[in-house]
Structure 1
Amino acid sequence: MKLSKLVHKINLAVGIYAISILIVMAFAFSNFYILHVAGNAANNVQWEGESNLVRNEVVLQIQQSASVQSEVSYWDESVIELYGADPDPEFIEYEMADWFWEDNFVRHATVIDEDGAPQISIFEGEQVAAGDMQSFVDAHADLVKAATANYFDLRKARGVGYATFGDPIYHQQPLYAADFRTFEGETGIVVAQAIVPDFELSIPDGNPKTLLTFHMLDQELFTAISEQLGLKNFQILPSSAVPDGATTMNVGGTANEPISASWTVAQPSQNIWDQVLPVFTLIFGAIAFGLLVIALLYGRVANQVQKSEEKNRFLAQHDALTGLPNRLQFDNELDKIIAEGALDRCAILCMDLDKFKAVNDTYGHQAGDAVIRTVAQRVAKIIDDKGMAARVGGDEFIILLRDGLDEASVMMLCDTIIESVCEDVVFDNGRAAVGASIGVAWWPDDAMTAKTVIRSADEALYRAKTGGRGQACQAIPEVDTKAASA
Structure 2
Amino acid sequence: MAANIEKENRGHTARLVRNVWLGCFAFVAAFVGAVYLTVQFAGEAANDISTTRELQLVAFDVQRVADNAIAAQQRIVKSDQLFLETKKPLNDAREFDKLIGLKMAREPFSVFSIIDDESNLVYAETQFSVSAPKDRIKYAQRLITTANDLVQDVYQTFDEMKAPSQDGYVVPSHFLYDEKAMTVFAFRYFDGKLHLIVAQPILAMTSYMRIDSEHPFISVAAIPIPNLYFSQTASQIGMQNLYPAALQDAEMGKTSLLLPNGNLPAAALLEWDATSPKLTILQDATPYLIALLLIILISTILVATKFASVLTTLGLVNRRNRFMARHCGLTNLANRSKFDEMIDKAAKNCHAKPFTLLTIDLDKFKPLNDNFGHAAGDMILVEIAKRYQEAVGEFGTVARVGGDEFMVLLKQNFGRNITQQLAQELVDLSSWPISTPYGELSVGCSIGIANAPKDGRTAPDVMRRADEAMYHSKRQGGSRATFAEDRVTHDDAPAEFQSHAS
- Give the distance between the partners of 1:24 and 1:217, measured in 2 at CA: 56
- Secondary structure of residue in 2 paired with 1:243: coil
| Residue 280 of structure 1: aligned partner | 289
Aligned: 1:64 with 2:68: yes
C-alpha change, 1:284 and 1:60, in structure 2 (3 Å) is: farther
- Secondary structure of residue in 1 paired with 2:275: coil
Report the count of equivalent residues: 281
Question: Which residue of 45, 50, 54 corresponds with 2:49?
Answer: 45
- Secondary structure of residue in 2 paired with 1:175: coil
Question: Which residue of 153, 158, 163 corresponds with 1:151?
Answer: 158
- Give the distance between the partners of 2:169 and 2:222, measured in 1 at CA: 27
- Give the distance between the partners of 1:256 and 1:164, measured in 2 at CA: 31
Question: Which residue of 207, 212, 217 corresponds with 1:209?
Answer: 217
Letter aligned with residue 163 of structure 1: V
C-alpha change, 1:264 and 1:15, in structure 2 (3 Å) is: same
| Residue 375 of structure 2: aligned partner | none
- Give the distance between the partners of 2:268 and 2:233, measured in 1 at CA: 17
C-alpha change, 1:60 and 1:272, in structure 2 (3 Å) is: same
Q: Is the 8 A contact 1:110 1:122 kept in 2?
A: yes
Q: Is the 8 A contact 2:70 2:179 kept in 1?
A: no
| Residue 119 of structure 2: aligned partner | 116
Question: Could you tell me how far 1:190 is from its partner in structure 2?
Answer: 0.8
Q: Is the 8 A contact 2:58 2:233 kept in 1?
A: no
Q: Deviations over 1:189-223 (max 9, x none)?
A: 11111111112643312232111001222334311
- Secondary structure of residue in 1 paired with 2:106: helix
- Give the distance between the partners of 2:52 and 2:266, measured in 1 at CA: 26
- Secondary structure of residue in 2 paired with 1:104: coil
More displaced stretch, 122-131 vs 218-227? 122-131
Question: Could you tell me how far 1:98 is from its partner in structure 2?
Answer: 4.5
Normalising by structure 2, we get a TM-score of: 0.49
- Give the distance between the partners of 1:170 and 1:51, measured in 2 at CA: 30
Question: Could you tell me how far 1:28 is from its partner in structure 2?
Answer: 0.8
| Residue 290 of structure 1: aligned partner | none
Normalising by structure 1, we get a TM-score of: 0.51
Rg larger in structure: 2
| Residue 38 of structure 2: aligned partner | 34
Question: Could you tell me how far 1:45 is from its partner in structure 2?
Answer: 1.9
- Give the distance between the partners of 1:5 and 1:177, measured in 2 at CA: 85
C-alpha change, 1:215 and 1:41, in structure 2 (3 Å) is: same
- Secondary structure of residue in 1 paired with 2:114: strand
Correspondence list, 1:285-364, <5 A: none
- Give the distance between the partners of 1:230 and 1:157, measured in 2 at CA: 52
Task: In structure 1, list runs of 5 or more residues that go unmatched.
Answer: 286-486
Q: Deviations over 1:254-312 (max 9, x none)?
A: 75762223233222222112222355323599xxxxxxxxxxxxxxxxxxxxxxxxxxx
C-alpha change, 1:228 and 1:104, in structure 2 (3 Å) is: farther
- Secondary structure of residue in 2 paired with 1:41: helix
Question: Which residue of 74, 80, 84 corresponds with 1:80?
Answer: 84
- Give the distance between the partners of 2:78 and 2:128, measured in 1 at CA: 20
C-alpha change, 1:97 and 1:226, in structure 2 (3 Å) is: farther
- Secondary structure of residue in 2 paired with 1:263: strand
Q: Is the 8 A contact 1:179 1:191 kept in 2?
A: yes
Q: Deviations over 1:105-128 (max 9, x none)?
A: 211111112221211111216865
Question: Could you tell me how far 1:137 is from its partner in structure 2?
Answer: 0.9
Task: In structure 2, list runs of 5 or more residues that go unmatched.
Answer: 295-502
- Give the distance between the partners of 1:172 and 1:283, measured in 2 at CA: 59
Correspondence list, 1:164-175, <5 A: 164-166=171-173, 171=178, 174-175=181-182
Letter aligned with residue 220 of structure 2: L
- Give the distance between the partners of 2:61 and 2:181, measured in 1 at CA: 18
Identity %: 17
Q: Deviations over 1:354-390 (max 9, x none)?
A: xxxxxxxxxxxxxxxxxxxxxxxxxxxxxxxxxxxxx
Q: Is the 8 A contact 1:237 1:260 kept in 2?
A: yes
Q: Is the 8 A contact 1:143 1:192 kept in 2?
A: yes
